Structure formats: C-alpha cells, structure tokens
C-alpha cells in the first residue's frame, strides 16, 4: 500500500479538463492547481459557477439561514418565499442544541414560512409577511424573529427591512431583523455568510453590556455544533477554566450574541463563514481574534495552548497542560490500535469552506495522506492565506454584497491588548488576526481543486483510487457505487462529535470501520469472479 504509484498531478489536471468545451476548460484550469507549499500557487476561487457543470454548491440563502442563523435556538427564523427553501433547511443540518430545561425556548425543530403563492408574487408579499410575523408573535412570543428573503423576494421588490422595522416598533418586545439573502446573490453559500454576519452584527451584537464574569472570556466563532462538536469544545473550555461568552452559532441563544462584545478574545473555527464578524468586532469593540482548530487531538491541544498563551496567565497555562495530559492517554491508546490499519491510506476532501483543511490534521494522525482537497465556496484567502487578501479583486457577481463601514464604538471600544502587546505575542509565534490557509499544510504535488464538478470527482477517483473520499450527501452514493467509501464531512453520516479529544477518537474509529469494512470485498458476485462450472444441462421451459 505504501508503495502505491500515484499518477503525475499535472497529467491528472490535463485529464480532468480534457473533455470540457475550450472556454470551460480554460476556466476550470485556473481552479485546479498542483500545490507547492514552498511557493503557493494562485488558485481561482469565489467566482460564478459554470452552468450545467454539476456543482456541489448551494446558494446564499443556505449560507445565511441554513448555516449561520439556523443553529440559534431562540430566534424564530421566518423564511419569506415559496415553501421549498424553508422545507429543505428544516432539520437537515445537524446543529445540535441544548435548551435550558424543559421550558427553555427552542424553535429549531420548527419550520416557518410565509408560503408565498402566485398572488403574492404578482401583488407583493409584504402584507402576508407582516401578518405572518404577527401570527408567529401571537403564537410564541419569541425574543426575536429573523426574516430571510428567498429568490423571488428581491425580484418583486418586497422591502423586508421596512417590514422588520415596522413590526419591531409595533410589537415592542421582539427584536425583528431581515436578511436579504436571495439565492441568486453572490455565487455560493459564501455571500449568505457575509449577509448573516452583517445583520447579526448590526441588529444584535452589543445590545447587552452585562459582564457575566469569568477570568478568561472568549467567543467561539464559526462552530456550528454539528453532531455535538461544540458540546465537546465547551466541555474542554470549561475544564480549563475558560469562559465561553458566546458561540456563533452552535448551541447558541440570541442573548449570547447580544452579550458577545464583553469577551476578551474571539477564536475562529470556520474562517470562511465568520471572519467578517471577527474583524467587525475588533474594529468596533477592540477584541482581537485568532484562528483555532479543534479538529484533531494534536490540533485541539495546540489550540487550547494558544488560547492560554494569549491570556498570558501561568495558572491557565498550567491548567491547560493538565487537561491535555488527562485527555491524551485515551486518544493515544486508540491511535495505537488503529494506526497500523489506516497507515499509508489515501484520502481526498471536498467540503464546504473549512473542513477540507481542518480534517487533514485528523487524517494525518491516522497516518493517512491527503492527495487532493478543495472547497465548494472558499475564497483565495482560505486556500492561500490571508496575506493575499489585498490582491483579491471582488468581481461583478459579488460586488453587491454589502461591506459594512465599521468604526470604533465611542463608549464600548476597549482594546483588550495594546498593539505592542499583540506584536510581542505575534513575534512569539501566536498568529493573531491571521490564517495561513489550506495550501501551506498540503504536500507538494497534491491537487487543490475549487468548486469541483461531478465530472472531475469521478475522474479523480478513477485516476487515484483513494481509500476514502470526503464530501457531502450528493456525492456519497455516487462515490460508494464506485467502490470507495465516502465520509460525509457535513453531516458526519449522522455520527460525531469529531471535535476535540473525544471527537478525534470517534473519527479514528469511524474511518477504520469505513476503510476496512468487509463490504468492499463483497461487491462482485462470486459467479462473476469465476464462472460457475455447469454440471448438468437441464432445460427448463
């Protein structure tokens, strides 16, 4: 297995685009690059999808409602549009949540829609939207209602923000805000993340100044508690004595968002979906941010240490070391058992906007190599690192996504560290306000592919025959029909958590189970392998 001969990546690249019409081939050629960590090549990303190519991508509404706002349990998320958008985002992402007691609010099991009909498209849907808000208020008396625009809303000119304002004033004790996240905005889910960040920042963050206490207060940004990931991270933070003020947005409440500006550090899991929030919070409130990764046992230990180093507190650093020392033996014993069974196997990862990077650490712990990886909707900074941000040109398809102009809050701005202190920490190797992206962590000669198409996926599998392929539900059964196990890294195949130390153990066991399952050897019928020798010559009619 270790001596498997792999094809030449440049030849693979040519093979992947050979069948395309010339214009398409040219465009796709820029999205497929052979990596060199020493000299990161430029990758084309965050541009429009080629019609008809069979993309993995979803839309802006999915990025806004489905991803960022979906996990907050006490906001009534009202989708303004025909029924589909609301239906498909109903409990299909596994954002777990734990309400406070049997009375605690939790609307995540519900699906709210204005269920727009033809007459609303013709005559406008604002009246129906207002009425739906009133009905939701009368039924549930929620703290907040979020309104999400779907494709037709922008086209017919319904002003959801005016409706939100009017109803907020009318109802008095319910925060109501809108998201213009029509599916056609931008080129992918990514536009929706940005829109979600902006509106939550504008309408929610900073409303509650209560200091909830704690010596080391952080916000966790871009962790959505799929399969209980955030529960595991919360457990570790708690054990270390680090206070989680707010989570954006796994297992979260709107109260946490309102209070989030009282934290002293923002740590980012998913850079793509939430880096806007981190930057805006630093500008307005003076809270620095730092990229972390709780996927992988080593990565988790490293991230906890880095949080402790930021606070420059000896007791905290000692406590973090104790926690790591307590947690690691269980991890090591599982790795010892599984490593020989996974060592040398090959993985490919094509997931969203962050996991294609994060999970490479976990595969590394299993002794597995990532041959090829890419995002659906990452931007160049997620691939090449934030240093290239000044070189990114916003193209025509994304230029209408609002950039908020943020300035320091005259009363609430309070720099948590001076620039000198931050500089010192950076010199000591703590990468404040930075993210190096995926490519520096990938081997020379690995293939990085943005917005991979179905065609490229099949070709890649044929050419490399990886031992495991990681993507989503739409790819899962295609790839498995080819005899290669597919690990869903969006839904975790209904398992998890995979974050933290417990999560790493779960992941090791799941990958071992998948790559070593008996079923892959049972695909061919025995009579296809060797023809049955016929012993008689019965004729049946």
Partner 1 sequence: MLLRHTNKEILEREALTINPAKTCQPIGAMYAALGIHGCLPHSHGSQGCCSYHRSTLTRHYKEPVMAATSSFTEGASVFGGQANLVTAIDNIFTVYEPDLIAVHSTCLSETIGDDLQQIVTKAKDDGKIPEGKHVIYAPTPSFVGSHVTGYANMVAAMAEQFAENTGKPIEQINIVAGWMEPSDMREIKRLAKELGVTIQLFPDTSDVLDAPQTGKHVFYPKGGIRVPDLKSTGESKSSIALGCFSGEPGAVALDKKCKVPFKTEDIPVGLRATDRFLMRLSKTAGVKIPESITDERGRLVDLMTDMEQYFHGKKVALFGDPDDLVPLTEFLLDLNMKPVHIISGTPGKRFEQRIRAILADTHADANVKNGPQADIFLLHQWIKNEPVDLLIGNTYGKYIARDEDIPFVRYGFPILDRIGHSYFPNIGYMGAIRLAEKILGVLMDRQDRDAPEESFELVM
Range 366-385, binding partner 1 (CB under 8 A): none
User: Which of the following is catalytic: 48, 57, 93, 305?
Assistant: 93
**Using rule CB under 8 A, residue 116 touches partner 1:** yes
Q: Which residue is listed with tokens 């989708």?
A: 79
Residue 169, burial from CB neighbour count under 10 angstroms (0-12, 13-18, 19+):
exposed
Residues in contact with partner 1, total (CB under 8 A)?
93
**Using rule CB under 8 A, residue 121 touches partner 1:** yes
Nearer to partner 1, 78 or 373 (CB): 78
Q: 16-45: which residues touch partner 1 (CB under 8 A)? A: 19-21, 24
User: Which of the following is catalytic: 28, 31, 45, 59?
Assistant: 59
Name the E strands within 193-343. 217-223, 243-249, 265-268, 289-291
Nearer to partner 1, 384 or 456 (CB): 456
Nearer to partner 1, 21 or 410 (CB): 21
User: Which of the following is catalytic: 94, 168, 193, 380?
Assistant: 193
Closest distance to partner 1 from the beta carbon of 522 (Å):
9
Closest distance to partner 1 from the beta carbon of 18 (Å):
11
Q: 159-198: which residues touch partner 1 (CB under 8 A)? A: 182-187
Strand partners for 178: 147
Residue 93 annotated in active site: yes
Q: 468-487: which residues touch partner 1 (CB under 8 A)? A: 472-474, 476-483
**Using rule CB under 8 A, residue 155 touches partner 1:** yes
What is the CB neighbour count within 10 angstroms for residue 385? 17
Q: Pick from 138, 336, 529, 537: which binds partner 1 (CB under 8 A)?
A: 138
Nearer to partner 1, 80 or 217 (CB): 80
Closest distance to partner 1 from the beta carbon of 393 (Å):
16
**CA nearest to 82, candidates 136, 151, 146, 162:** 151
505-513: long-range contacts at Cβ-Cβ below 8 A with a sequence spacing of 24 or more? 505/330, 505/331, 505/334, 507/362, 508/334, 508/335, 508/338, 508/342, 508/362, 508/365, 508/366, 509/334, 509/338, 511/338, 511/342, 511/363, 511/366, 511/368, 511/468, 511/487, 512/338, 512/341, 512/342, 512/366
**Strand (E) or helix (H) holding 488:** strand 486-488
Nearer to partner 1, 384 or 451 (CB): 451
User: Which of the following is catalytic: 45, 62, 270, 299?
Assistant: 62
What is the rounded distance in angstroms from the CA atom of residue 337 to the CA atom of residue 254? 43
Please provide the distance, in angstroms rounded to a whole number, between the alpha carbons at the two ends of the chain: 50
Q: 490-529: which residues touch partner 1 (CB under 8 A)? A: 523-524
What is the CB neighbour count within 10 angstroms for residue 54? 13
Nearer to partner 1, 128 or 306 (CB): 128
Which tokens sit at 39?
A: 């000299």
**Using rule CB under 8 A, residue 118 touches partner 1:** yes
Q: 335-354: which residues touch partner 1 (CB under 8 A)? A: none
Q: 226-255: which residues touch partner 1 (CB under 8 A)? A: none
147 three-class SS: strand
Residue 59 annotated in active site: yes
Q: 35-94: which residues touch partner 1 (CB under 8 A)? A: 48-62, 78, 81-92
Closest distance to partner 1 from the beta carbon of 43 (Å):
20
What is the rounded distance in angstroms from the CA atom of residue 247 to the CA atom of residue 337? 35
Closest distance to partner 1 from the beta carbon of 20 (Å):
6
- Tell me the per-residue interface mask from 195 to 224 with partner 1, x by CB under 8 A, - otherwise: ------------------------------
Residue 141 annotated in active site: no
Q: Pick from 11, 139, 315, 325: which binds partner 1 (CB under 8 A)?
A: 139
Q: 386-425: which residues touch partner 1 (CB under 8 A)? A: 396-397, 400
* β-pair type (265-268, 289-291): parallel
Closest distance to partner 1 from the beta carbon of 390 (Å):
25
Residues in contact with 244: Cβ distance below 8 Å, sequence separation at least 6, in sequence order: 218, 219, 220, 234, 237, 238
Q: For residues 78 and 145, is the Cβ–Cβ distance under 8 A?
A: yes
Which window, 115-123, 246-254, 312-320, 360-368, contacts partner 1 (CB under 8 A)?
A: 115-123
Residues in contact with 119: Cβ distance below 8 Å, sequence separation at least 6, in sequence order: none
499 three-class SS: strand
Closest distance to partner 1 from the beta carbon of 384 (Å):
24
Residue 193 annotated in active site: yes
Active centre residues (catalytic)? 59, 62, 93, 193
């Amino acid at each position: 297995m270790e001596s498997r001969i792999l094809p030449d990546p440049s030849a693979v690249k040519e093979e992947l685009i050979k069948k395309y019409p010339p214009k398409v081939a040219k465009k796709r050629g820029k999205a497929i690059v052979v990596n060199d960590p020493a000299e990161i090549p430029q990758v084309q990303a965050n541009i429009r999808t080629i019609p008809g190519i069979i993309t993995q991508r979803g839309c802006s509404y999915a990025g806004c409602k489905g991803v960022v706002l979906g996990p907050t349990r006490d906001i009534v998320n009202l989708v303004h549009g025909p029924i589909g958008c609301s239906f498909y985002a109903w409990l299909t992402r596994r954002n777990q949540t734990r309400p406070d007691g049997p009375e605690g609010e939790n609307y995540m099991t519900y699906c709210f829609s204005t269920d727009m009909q033809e007459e609303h498209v013709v005559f406008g849907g604002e009246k129906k939207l207002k009425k739906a808000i009133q009905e939701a208020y009368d039924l549930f008396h929620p703290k907040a209602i979020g309104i999400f625009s779907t494709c037709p809303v922008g086209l017919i000119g319904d002003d959801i923000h005016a409706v939100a304002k009017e109803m907020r004033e009318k109802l008095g004790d319910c925060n109501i805000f809108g998201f213009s996240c029509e599916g056609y905005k931008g080129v992918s889910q990514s536009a929706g993340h940005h829109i979600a960040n902006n509106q939550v920042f504008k309408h929610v963050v900073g409303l509650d100044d209560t200091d909830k206490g704690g010596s080391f207060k952080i916000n966790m940004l871009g962790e959505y508690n799929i399969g209980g990931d955030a529960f595991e991270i919360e457990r570790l933070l708690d054990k270390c004595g680090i206070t989680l003020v707010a989570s954006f947005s796994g297992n979260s409440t709107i109260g946490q968002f309102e209070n989030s500006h009282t934290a002293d550090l923002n740590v980012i899991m998913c850079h793509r979906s939430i880096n806007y929030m981190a930057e805006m919070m630093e500008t307005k409130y003076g809270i620095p941010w730092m990229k972390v990764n709780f996927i992988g046992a080593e990565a988790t230990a490293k991230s906890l240490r880095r949080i402790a180093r930021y606070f420059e507190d000896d007791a905290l650093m000692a406590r973090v070391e104790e926690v790591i020392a307590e947690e690691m033996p269980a991890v090591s014993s599982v790795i010892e058992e599984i490593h020989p069974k996974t060592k040398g196997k090959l993985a490919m990862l094509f997931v969203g906007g962050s996991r294609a990077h994060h999970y490479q650490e976990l595969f590394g712990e299993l002794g597995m190599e990532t041959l090829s990886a890419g995002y659906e909707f990452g931007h160049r900074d997620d691939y090449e690192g934030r240093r290239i941000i000044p070189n990114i040109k916003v193209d025509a398809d994304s230029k209408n996504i609002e950039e908020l102009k943020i300035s320091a809050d005259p009363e609430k701005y309070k720099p948590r560290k001076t620039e000198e202190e931050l500089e010192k920490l950076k010199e000591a190797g703590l990468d404040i306000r930075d993210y190096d992206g995926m490519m520096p962590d990938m081997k020379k000669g690995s293939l990085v592919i943005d917005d991979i198409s179905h065609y490229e996926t099949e070709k890649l599998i044929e050419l490399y025959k990886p031992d495991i392929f990681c993507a989503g539900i739409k790819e899962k059964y295609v790839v498995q029909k080819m005899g290669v196990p597919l690990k869903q890294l969006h839904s975790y195949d209904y398992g998890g958590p995979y974050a933290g130390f417990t999560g790493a153990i779960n992941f090791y066991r799941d990958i071992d189970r998948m790559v070593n399952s008996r079923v892959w050897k049972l695909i061919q019928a025995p009579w296809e392998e060797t023809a049955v020798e016929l012993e008689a010559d019965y004729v049946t009619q």
